[in-house]
Structures are given as structure tokens and as C-alpha cells.
Amino acid sequence: MHSNGTQASVAPLKLCVIPGDGIGAEVVPAAVQVLQQVAPEVEIHSAEAGWACFQKHGTSLPESTLELARSCGAVLFGATQSPAYPVEGYFSPIVRLRKTLRAYANLRPTTWLPVPAARPGVDLLVVRENTEDLYIGREQTRDDGDTGVAEKVITREATERVARLAYQLAVRVGRRKVTIVHKANVLPQSDGLFRRVALEVAADFPQIETDELFVDTAAYWMVKDPSRYDVILTMNLYGDILSDMAAAWGGGLGLAPSVSLGDGIALAEPVHGSAPDIAGKGISNPTATMLSVAMLLRHYWDRADAAARIEHAVHRALDSGEYTIDIYTDGALGTNEFTSRIIDRL
């Protein structure tokens, strides 16, 4: 990443594609077809990860997949299915991948799309710190057996790099306000540090308006009037929850994209999971994954033109009532048919 918050335009034009499990195997190929239309020069390399991979190779994230991801720099990840019971040796490949690649800032935009469930006027971006907070997994049960303890870690370094990225991005893409979300009144040592460091960074960007909210009030406003928000800058757990709330205003999980950025690294993934209830039927919505590819183009390859082509094609298809079944059941299109309609519009 350049110091101005953009990825180098010399970022290698290579993409490591990891479909994963369930509908990952449907939505990722659909999004790759779209990418090949707008940026045929990107080299595509496929790799395995997930539950099926674990059953086949005894690991959910083979070393070869990690190496390929590192050497490409850009990754498109579908979804993986994690068993709901403890399995010896199994770990969540996406959490490990984000951590190993040091993809420290997770960007989750919610923008109004022409579908029945979306809320007009919403155009916000959650920038979520992706490497620490309660998600470091330092959790234990005390000897009494009835006390669970989890450690929350917030550091100056991680806060500063995500805050700087959020403000640089706000400047670059023409956003006007950043809202810092925390609970520093209850957690002055951890959230208080996040707040202080974020405000220090904010001082370097006088052209961007800054305000702050306690996370409970932030949730209230997310329901009451999401158009209050422009960019939200927050910690891992609050960002996870607020961005899922925001996704509902965008029209649902089938439409919610994301990208995680690090130094010279970008990991694009839809917000949704492997959707085992509909997997294999060819009816999943590939839009979230296509829009995640658009985010890669804009934020990593510096190809805003190609990103906009994908976004416009998606807008126009939805505006014509071309929907998959999660958006509207009557006359719903399958994954492949919907994808063809997008490609026709590119």
C-alpha cells in the first residue's frame, strides 16, 4: 500500500481464487467470469480451502494455498462451512488467512441498490479493524468451571494503521465524515486507547469531519436513520455487528461485498457464508461476490473504471427486476442466468 492509502498500481495482476464450500463454488466462478470481461489481463490461479478440503487433505488451509495467496497478493474467497461441533485439527480458514496475510482493515460498504428490501438514502462504509480486539481467541474457563474469560486487546499500532487507512480512503474516494465508534466510557483502557489514537489520526485530516458515538447509540442510529453515516471506523467486534446490521439495509446478504486490505494484500469476500440450505441448486445470488471483485479492482488494482462497469451492470440488472430467489421469489433467475444478464450489460 502506498502512503496515500492506495495500493500500488503496479500490484501484480494475479488473483488467487478460493471457492471453498457450498455456494462458494457457484458464486466465485460467476464473479470470475465477470472479472474476465472487464479485466482479462488478470491471471487466475485456483486453490483449495475449507471443510471439503479438510476431509480430503486433513487441513482446512493447505500450505500451498497460503503460498499462492501470498505470491498473488490478491485473493477472492467464496465461503467455507465450519462444523458446528469441535473437530480435532480443524480451524476456520478465513480467519487464519486474514491473520496470516495481515489483512488488517476490513471494508464493508452498504449502498442502496434497486431491490425491494433496500433502504433509500443509505451509503455508508464500515472500516473494521481486523486483527485484534476480542477476536484474538485468548479465551479460557476458570477452574471453578463456571467462569468464562476472554481477553480484549487493543494496540496503538493496529489502531493507528486502520485509522490512517480509513481517513486516507475517505479522502481518496470523496467521503466527507468519519464516525469513530467505541465504548470508552465503560472500557477506558482498551476502547479509550482506540478512541484517543483514532482522534490523533483524525487531526491530520482536517478536511474530513470527525464525530464519535458509543456503540449502543451507533446501533440505535443504524436502525433509526442509517443515512446519518458516511464512514464508520471501529474495532473488530463492533464492526462485525454494525456491518451485518447495515447489510440488511443494503437489501440482504446476497448483495453485501467486502474487501480486507493489508500492505500489498487484498482479500475480497462476500459477507455471507456457504448457505448449505441452498447449496448445489444453482440459485444462489452471485452479486455480493461480483461487487467484492469490483472492490478489488478499485482498492487494490487501482482500476476504478472497471469496478464502475461491474457496479453499473449490477444496478441496471436489478433495476430491470432481474432478481435471484433471495431478492424476490416470483420468476427468480438461477445463478448462471443472472450472471449472463450481468455479462450482457458489461
Of 30-38, 78-86, 188-196, 217-225, the window that binds ligand NAI (rule: CB under 6 A) is 78-86
Binding-site member from 108, 175, 183, 272 for ligand NAI (CB under 6 A)? 272
Based on the shown chain and the rule CB under 6 A, indicate whether residue 95 belongs to the binding site for ligand NAI. Answer: no
**Closer residue to Mg ion (CB): 240 or 326:** 240
Contact 125, 226 (CB under 8 A): no
Q: How far is the CB of 160 from Mg ion (least distance, A)?
A: 24
| 216 a catalytic residue | yes
Q: Which grid cell sits at 241?
A: 455487528
Contact 234, 181 (CB under 8 A): yes
Based on the shown chain and the rule CB under 6 A, indicate whether residue 284 belongs to the binding site for ligand NAI. Answer: yes
Catalytic annotation, pick one of 56, 204, 211, 216:
216
Q: Which residue has the cell 440488472?
A: 317
Cα–Cα distance for residue pair 220/202, rounded to 1 Å? 24
Cα–Cα distance for residue pair 66/48, rounded to 1 Å? 10
**Closer residue to ligand NAI (CB): 5 or 273:** 273
CB atoms within 10 A of CB 176: 11
Based on the shown chain and the rule CB under 6 A, indicate whether residue 275 belongs to the binding site for ligand NAI. Answer: yes
| 211 a catalytic residue | no
Based on the shown chain and the rule CB under 5 A, indicate whether residue 240 belongs to the binding site for Mg ion. Answer: yes
Binding-site member from 253, 304, 308, 343 for ligand NAI (CB under 6 A)? 253
**Closer residue to Mg ion (CB): 129 or 240:** 240
Of 76-84, 182-190, 207-215, 236-244, the window that binds Mg ion (rule: CB under 5 A) is 236-244
Q: How far is the CB of 109 from ligand NAI (least distance, A)?
A: 17
Of 197-205, 207-215, 228-236, 275-283, the window that binds ligand NAI (rule: CB under 6 A) is 275-283
Based on the shown chain and the rule CB under 6 A, indicate whether residue 273 belongs to the binding site for ligand NAI. Answer: yes
Per-residue x/- mask for ligand NAI, residues 16 to 35, rule CB under 6 A?
-------x---x--------
Residues 244-249: contacts with CB under 8 Å, at least 24 apart: 244/271, 245/219, 246/108, 246/110, 246/122, 246/124, 246/126, 246/222, 247/108, 247/110, 247/271, 248/117, 249/110, 249/112, 249/118, 249/119, 249/122, 249/222
Based on the shown chain and the rule CB under 5 A, indicate whether residue 21 belongs to the binding site for Mg ion. Answer: no
Q: How far is the CB of 127 from Mg ion (least distance, A)?
A: 15
Q: Which grid cell sits at 63?
A: 500450505
First to last CA, the chain: 29
Catalytic annotation, pick one of 104, 135, 167, 323:
135
Contact 97, 61 (CB under 8 A): yes
Based on the shown chain and the rule CB under 6 A, indicate whether residue 277 belongs to the binding site for ligand NAI. Answer: yes
For 221-246, give one letter per residue: b (16+ CB within 10 A) or e: ebeeebebbbbbbbbbebbbbbbeeb
The site partner of 278 among Mg ion, ligand NAI, none (C-beta below 5 to 8 Å per kind) is ligand NAI
Catalytic annotation, pick one of 123, 230, 244, 302:
244
| 144 a catalytic residue | no
Enumerate the H helices of 106-177 as residue ranges.
156-172
Based on the shown chain and the rule CB under 6 A, indicate whether residue 103 belongs to the binding site for ligand NAI. Answer: no
Catalytic annotation, pick one of 21, 133, 167, 183:
183
Cα–Cα distance for residue pair 198/183, rounded to 1 Å? 13
Q: Which residue has the cell 483514532?
A: 198
Interface with ligand NAI by CB under 6 A: which residues?
Answer: 23, 27, 79-82, 94, 253-254, 269, 272-278, 284-285, 288, 326
Catalytic residues: 135, 183, 216, 240, 244
